[in-house]
Amino acid sequence: MKHSPYAQQISRRKFLASSTVTSLAMLAPQLALAQSSMPVRQIPGTDKVLPIVGLGSSKVVTGIAENGPAPLEAVLEALIEHGGSMVDTWPRNVDNDGAFGEVISQEGIKDALFITTKIDQIGKQAGIDQFEQTLRLYQRDSVDLAQIFSLTDLDVHWPSLRDWKEQGKARYIGVTVSQEALYAQLEAFLKREKPDFIQLNYSIAERMAESRLLPMAADMGVGVIINRPFMNGSYFERLRDMPLPEWTSEFDCNSWAQFSLKYILANPLITCVLTETSNPLHMVENAMTASSQLPNEVVRKRMAKYIDQV
Protein backbone atom coordinates (compact mmCIF):
# COMPACT_ATOMS: atom_id res chain seq x y z
CA MET A 1 0.00 0.00 0.00
CA LYS A 2 1.18 3.55 -0.71
CA HIS A 3 1.92 5.82 2.19
CA SER A 4 0.33 9.23 2.63
CA PRO A 5 2.78 12.14 2.31
CA TYR A 6 0.84 14.12 4.89
CA ALA A 7 2.18 12.28 7.91
CA GLN A 8 5.66 13.50 7.08
CA GLN A 9 4.47 17.04 6.51
CA ILE A 10 2.61 17.39 9.75
CA SER A 11 5.09 15.54 11.96
CA ARG A 12 7.19 18.66 12.23
CA ARG A 13 4.34 20.57 13.71
CA LYS A 14 4.76 21.65 17.28
CA PHE A 15 1.27 20.86 18.38
CA LEU A 16 1.82 17.19 17.70
CA ALA A 17 5.17 17.09 19.43
CA SER A 18 3.73 18.43 22.62
CA SER A 19 0.57 18.00 24.63
CA THR A 20 0.50 21.79 24.93
CA VAL A 21 -1.35 22.92 21.87
CA THR A 22 -0.44 26.18 20.20
CA SER A 23 -3.04 28.79 20.95
CA LEU A 24 -5.38 29.20 18.04
CA ALA A 25 -5.23 32.94 18.58
CA MET A 26 -1.58 32.85 17.50
CA LEU A 27 -2.77 31.83 14.07
CA ALA A 28 -4.77 34.98 13.54
CA PRO A 29 -2.24 36.81 11.32
CA GLN A 30 -2.03 33.77 9.05
CA LEU A 31 -5.73 33.28 8.63
CA ALA A 32 -6.30 35.56 5.67
CA LEU A 33 -3.64 33.69 3.72
CA ALA A 34 -4.76 30.27 4.89
CA GLN A 35 -8.38 30.93 4.08
CA SER A 36 -7.54 31.45 0.44
CA SER A 37 -5.72 28.16 0.09
CA MET A 38 -8.64 25.76 -0.12
CA PRO A 39 -10.97 25.66 -3.12
CA VAL A 40 -14.39 27.12 -2.40
CA ARG A 41 -17.89 26.67 -3.77
CA GLN A 42 -20.62 29.24 -3.90
CA ILE A 43 -23.51 29.07 -1.45
CA PRO A 44 -26.43 28.98 -3.89
CA GLY A 45 -28.40 32.18 -4.17
CA THR A 46 -25.70 34.24 -2.47
CA ASP A 47 -22.37 35.84 -3.31
CA LYS A 48 -20.77 33.92 -0.41
CA VAL A 49 -18.51 30.90 -0.72
CA LEU A 50 -17.52 27.98 1.48
CA PRO A 51 -14.24 26.04 1.52
CA ILE A 52 -15.13 22.56 0.30
CA VAL A 53 -13.82 20.45 3.19
CA GLY A 54 -15.08 20.93 6.73
CA LEU A 55 -14.89 19.26 10.13
CA GLY A 56 -17.50 16.97 11.61
CA SER A 57 -16.70 17.72 15.24
CA SER A 58 -18.98 15.24 16.96
CA LYS A 59 -16.36 12.88 18.38
CA VAL A 60 -13.67 15.44 19.22
CA VAL A 61 -16.17 17.68 21.03
CA THR A 62 -17.63 14.75 22.95
CA GLY A 63 -14.06 13.80 23.85
CA ILE A 64 -13.55 17.10 25.71
CA ALA A 65 -15.01 15.47 28.82
CA GLU A 66 -12.19 12.94 28.90
CA ASN A 67 -9.30 14.64 27.09
CA GLY A 68 -9.87 18.35 27.59
CA PRO A 69 -10.02 20.88 24.74
CA ALA A 70 -6.47 20.38 23.35
CA PRO A 71 -7.39 17.71 20.76
CA LEU A 72 -10.23 19.92 19.51
CA GLU A 73 -7.87 22.88 19.28
CA ALA A 74 -5.35 20.83 17.33
CA VAL A 75 -7.93 19.65 14.80
CA LEU A 76 -9.34 23.17 14.42
CA GLU A 77 -5.86 24.54 13.94
CA ALA A 78 -5.23 22.01 11.19
CA LEU A 79 -8.53 22.90 9.52
CA ILE A 80 -7.97 26.65 9.65
CA GLU A 81 -4.33 26.52 8.60
CA HIS A 82 -5.33 24.61 5.50
CA GLY A 83 -8.07 27.00 4.51
CA GLY A 84 -11.15 25.28 5.92
CA SER A 85 -13.89 26.97 7.91
CA MET A 86 -16.98 24.79 8.31
CA VAL A 87 -17.42 23.08 11.68
CA ASP A 88 -20.54 20.99 12.02
CA THR A 89 -21.77 20.54 15.58
CA TRP A 90 -24.51 18.83 17.51
CA PRO A 91 -25.40 19.91 21.04
CA ARG A 92 -24.43 17.21 23.55
CA ASN A 93 -24.12 18.50 27.10
CA VAL A 94 -23.50 21.80 28.83
CA ASP A 95 -19.90 21.06 29.85
CA ASN A 96 -18.75 19.94 26.40
CA ASP A 97 -20.61 22.63 24.54
CA GLY A 98 -19.41 25.30 26.95
CA ALA A 99 -15.80 24.18 26.43
CA PHE A 100 -16.37 24.14 22.68
CA GLY A 101 -17.74 27.68 22.94
CA GLU A 102 -14.59 28.79 24.78
CA VAL A 103 -12.35 27.40 22.04
CA ILE A 104 -14.27 28.88 19.11
CA SER A 105 -14.52 32.26 20.80
CA GLN A 106 -10.79 32.91 20.88
CA GLU A 107 -9.87 36.25 19.38
CA GLY A 108 -9.05 36.02 15.68
CA ILE A 109 -10.70 32.60 15.38
CA LYS A 110 -14.30 33.49 16.03
CA ASP A 111 -14.73 34.99 12.58
CA ALA A 112 -12.69 32.34 10.77
CA LEU A 113 -15.17 29.53 11.31
CA PHE A 114 -18.53 28.72 9.78
CA ILE A 115 -20.37 27.21 12.75
CA THR A 116 -23.45 25.04 12.45
CA THR A 117 -25.71 23.55 15.05
CA LYS A 118 -28.64 21.15 15.12
CA ILE A 119 -31.99 20.78 16.81
CA ASP A 120 -32.71 17.20 17.84
CA GLN A 121 -35.43 17.70 20.44
CA ILE A 122 -39.11 16.80 20.26
CA GLY A 123 -41.50 19.73 20.74
CA LYS A 124 -41.38 23.37 19.75
CA GLN A 125 -40.32 24.85 23.08
CA ALA A 126 -37.68 22.16 23.62
CA GLY A 127 -36.19 23.08 20.22
CA ILE A 128 -36.21 26.78 21.04
CA ASP A 129 -34.62 26.14 24.43
CA GLN A 130 -31.94 23.97 22.83
CA PHE A 131 -31.10 26.65 20.27
CA GLU A 132 -30.97 29.46 22.84
CA GLN A 133 -28.74 27.37 25.09
CA THR A 134 -26.43 26.61 22.17
CA LEU A 135 -26.07 30.32 21.36
CA ARG A 136 -25.28 31.03 24.98
CA LEU A 137 -22.72 28.22 25.29
CA TYR A 138 -21.12 29.03 21.93
CA GLN A 139 -20.92 32.68 23.09
CA ARG A 140 -22.55 33.89 19.88
CA ASP A 141 -25.53 36.01 18.94
CA SER A 142 -25.99 33.83 15.88
CA VAL A 143 -24.80 30.65 14.20
CA ASP A 144 -23.97 30.37 10.53
CA LEU A 145 -26.31 27.45 9.96
CA ALA A 146 -29.11 26.00 12.10
CA GLN A 147 -30.28 22.53 11.04
CA ILE A 148 -32.98 20.09 12.07
CA PHE A 149 -31.18 16.85 12.93
CA SER A 150 -32.38 13.88 10.89
CA LEU A 151 -35.72 15.58 10.19
CA THR A 152 -36.66 15.28 13.89
CA ASP A 153 -40.07 16.85 14.53
CA LEU A 154 -39.57 18.57 11.20
CA ASP A 155 -42.83 20.45 10.76
CA VAL A 156 -42.76 21.65 14.35
CA HIS A 157 -39.21 23.04 14.22
CA TRP A 158 -39.11 24.43 10.68
CA PRO A 159 -41.13 27.60 11.51
CA SER A 160 -38.74 28.22 14.44
CA LEU A 161 -35.75 28.03 12.09
CA ARG A 162 -37.42 30.48 9.74
CA ASP A 163 -37.97 32.82 12.69
CA TRP A 164 -34.32 32.55 13.73
CA LYS A 165 -33.19 33.40 10.24
CA GLU A 166 -35.52 36.38 10.14
CA GLN A 167 -34.25 37.52 13.54
CA GLY A 168 -30.61 37.20 12.45
CA LYS A 169 -29.90 34.35 14.87
CA ALA A 170 -29.14 31.93 12.03
CA ARG A 171 -27.56 33.14 8.78
CA TYR A 172 -28.74 30.01 6.97
CA ILE A 173 -31.18 27.22 7.81
CA GLY A 174 -31.44 23.62 6.75
CA VAL A 175 -32.15 20.00 7.56
CA THR A 176 -30.03 16.87 7.82
CA VAL A 177 -30.32 13.16 7.10
CA SER A 178 -27.65 10.50 7.22
CA GLN A 179 -29.48 7.42 5.99
CA GLU A 180 -31.32 6.48 2.83
CA ALA A 181 -34.47 5.57 4.79
CA LEU A 182 -35.11 9.32 5.21
CA TYR A 183 -34.60 10.30 1.55
CA ALA A 184 -38.28 10.11 0.62
CA GLN A 185 -39.20 12.34 3.56
CA LEU A 186 -36.45 14.79 2.63
CA GLU A 187 -37.61 14.89 -0.96
CA ALA A 188 -41.19 15.55 0.15
CA PHE A 189 -39.92 18.40 2.35
CA LEU A 190 -38.02 19.92 -0.57
CA LYS A 191 -41.23 19.93 -2.59
CA ARG A 192 -42.87 22.24 -0.06
CA GLU A 193 -40.00 24.25 1.46
CA LYS A 194 -36.71 25.75 0.30
CA PRO A 195 -33.97 25.44 2.91
CA ASP A 196 -30.61 27.14 2.33
CA PHE A 197 -28.83 23.81 2.86
CA ILE A 198 -29.53 20.13 3.08
CA GLN A 199 -27.00 17.83 4.73
CA LEU A 200 -26.96 14.18 3.67
CA ASN A 201 -24.81 11.07 3.43
CA TYR A 202 -22.83 10.54 0.26
CA SER A 203 -19.57 8.75 -0.48
CA ILE A 204 -17.90 6.36 -2.88
CA ALA A 205 -19.74 3.57 -1.03
CA GLU A 206 -23.10 5.32 -0.47
CA ARG A 207 -24.08 6.89 -3.77
CA MET A 208 -27.87 6.81 -3.70
CA ALA A 209 -28.16 10.61 -3.39
CA GLU A 210 -26.76 10.95 -6.91
CA SER A 211 -29.93 9.80 -8.61
CA ARG A 212 -32.49 12.26 -7.22
CA LEU A 213 -31.54 14.41 -4.23
CA LEU A 214 -28.32 15.99 -5.49
CA PRO A 215 -29.82 17.07 -8.84
CA MET A 216 -32.99 18.22 -7.08
CA ALA A 217 -31.03 20.39 -4.65
CA ALA A 218 -28.99 21.84 -7.52
CA ASP A 219 -32.15 22.66 -9.52
CA MET A 220 -33.66 24.37 -6.48
CA GLY A 221 -30.52 26.34 -5.61
CA VAL A 222 -30.09 24.57 -2.27
CA GLY A 223 -26.58 24.10 -0.85
CA VAL A 224 -25.47 20.53 -0.15
CA ILE A 225 -23.34 19.49 2.82
CA ILE A 226 -22.11 15.91 2.83
CA ASN A 227 -21.80 13.67 5.88
CA ARG A 228 -20.53 10.10 6.27
CA PRO A 229 -17.76 10.44 3.64
CA PHE A 230 -16.14 7.43 5.35
CA MET A 231 -19.35 5.84 6.67
CA ASN A 232 -18.31 6.84 10.16
CA GLY A 233 -15.20 4.67 9.85
CA SER A 234 -16.80 1.45 8.59
CA TYR A 235 -15.49 2.28 5.08
CA PHE A 236 -11.95 1.83 6.40
CA GLU A 237 -12.82 -1.43 8.13
CA ARG A 238 -14.22 -2.77 4.87
CA LEU A 239 -10.98 -1.92 3.05
CA ARG A 240 -8.63 -2.93 5.83
CA ASP A 241 -5.39 -4.46 4.52
CA MET A 242 -6.41 -3.87 0.91
CA PRO A 243 -3.83 -2.03 -1.20
CA LEU A 244 -4.96 0.84 -3.38
CA PRO A 245 -5.16 -0.22 -7.01
CA GLU A 246 -2.22 0.99 -9.11
CA TRP A 247 -4.41 3.12 -11.40
CA THR A 248 -5.24 5.49 -8.50
CA SER A 249 -1.83 7.08 -9.00
CA GLU A 250 -3.23 8.55 -12.25
CA PHE A 251 -5.20 11.04 -10.17
CA ASP A 252 -2.66 11.38 -7.37
CA CYS A 253 -4.60 9.31 -4.86
CA ASN A 254 -2.50 8.00 -1.98
CA SER A 255 -4.96 6.63 0.58
CA TRP A 256 -8.43 5.16 0.89
CA ALA A 257 -9.52 8.37 2.62
CA GLN A 258 -8.50 10.36 -0.46
CA PHE A 259 -10.21 7.79 -2.66
CA SER A 260 -13.66 8.51 -1.17
CA LEU A 261 -13.05 12.24 -0.69
CA LYS A 262 -11.87 12.77 -4.26
CA TYR A 263 -14.92 10.92 -5.55
CA ILE A 264 -17.19 13.23 -3.52
CA LEU A 265 -15.33 16.46 -4.29
CA ALA A 266 -15.34 15.77 -8.03
CA ASN A 267 -19.12 16.05 -7.94
CA PRO A 268 -19.91 19.71 -8.73
CA LEU A 269 -23.33 19.47 -7.09
CA ILE A 270 -21.96 19.38 -3.57
CA THR A 271 -21.03 22.49 -1.60
CA CYS A 272 -18.96 21.14 1.30
CA VAL A 273 -18.03 17.74 2.73
CA LEU A 274 -17.69 17.16 6.48
CA THR A 275 -14.97 14.81 7.59
CA GLU A 276 -15.17 13.77 11.20
CA THR A 277 -11.83 13.34 12.90
CA SER A 278 -10.08 13.67 16.23
CA ASN A 279 -6.70 13.39 14.54
CA PRO A 280 -4.97 16.53 13.19
CA LEU A 281 -3.02 14.38 10.73
CA HIS A 282 -6.28 13.23 9.23
CA MET A 283 -7.68 16.76 9.21
CA VAL A 284 -4.65 17.95 7.24
CA GLU A 285 -4.92 15.08 4.80
CA ASN A 286 -8.62 15.71 4.26
CA ALA A 287 -8.14 19.46 3.88
CA MET A 288 -5.27 19.04 1.42
CA THR A 289 -7.30 16.61 -0.67
CA ALA A 290 -9.53 19.57 -1.50
CA SER A 291 -6.69 21.11 -3.51
CA SER A 292 -5.54 17.88 -5.13
CA GLN A 293 -6.18 16.45 -8.57
CA LEU A 294 -9.73 15.13 -8.86
CA PRO A 295 -10.93 12.21 -11.00
CA ASN A 296 -12.88 12.81 -14.21
CA GLU A 297 -16.22 11.13 -14.91
CA VAL A 298 -14.68 8.08 -16.57
CA VAL A 299 -12.41 7.50 -13.61
CA ARG A 300 -15.24 8.11 -11.14
CA LYS A 301 -17.23 5.33 -12.78
CA ARG A 302 -14.24 3.04 -12.50
CA MET A 303 -13.86 3.93 -8.81
CA ALA A 304 -17.52 3.16 -8.10
CA LYS A 305 -17.33 -0.16 -9.93
CA TYR A 306 -14.21 -1.09 -8.00
CA ILE A 307 -15.76 -0.32 -4.61
CA ASP A 308 -18.91 -2.25 -5.46
CA GLN A 309 -16.76 -5.33 -6.01
CA VAL A 310 -14.85 -5.29 -2.71
Single out the segment in contact with ligand NAP by CB under 6 A; choices: 134-142, 204-212, 269-277, 301-309. Answer: 269-277
The pattern of x and - marking residues 114 through 143 that bind ligand NAP according to CB under 6 A reads: ----x-------------------------
Stretch binding ligand NAP (CB under 6 A), from 9-17, 31-39, 268-276, 299-307: 268-276
- Amino acid present at 72: L
Smallest distance from ligand NAP to CB 29, Å: 28
CA distance 131 to 7: 38
Residue number, 165 or 228, with CB nearest to ligand NAP: 228
Cα–Cα distance, 161 to 117 (Å, whole number): 11
Residue 245 DSSP one-character state:
P
Does 278 help bind ligand NAP (rule: CB under 6 A)?
yes
DSSP string covering 139-200, please?
T-S-EEEEEEGGGTTHHHHHHHHHHHHHTTSEEEEEEE--SGGGHHHHHHHHHH---SEEEE
Q: Which position among 114, 158, 202, 230 is part of the footprint of ligand NAP (CB under 6 A)?
A: 230
150 in contact with ligand NAP (CB under 6 A): yes
Give the DSSP per-residue string, 34-45: HHTSS-EEEPTT
Q: How far is the CB of 71 from ligand NAP (least distance, A)?
A: 9
| Of 187, 97, 202, nearest in space to 151 by CA | 187
> Residue 90: CB partners within 8 Å, gap ≥ 6?
58, 117, 118, 120, 149
What minimum distance in Å lies between the beta carbon of 55 and ligand NAP? 8
| Interface ranges with ligand NAP (CB under 6 A) | 56-59, 88, 118, 149-150, 176-178, 199, 227-233, 236, 257, 274-279, 282, 285-286
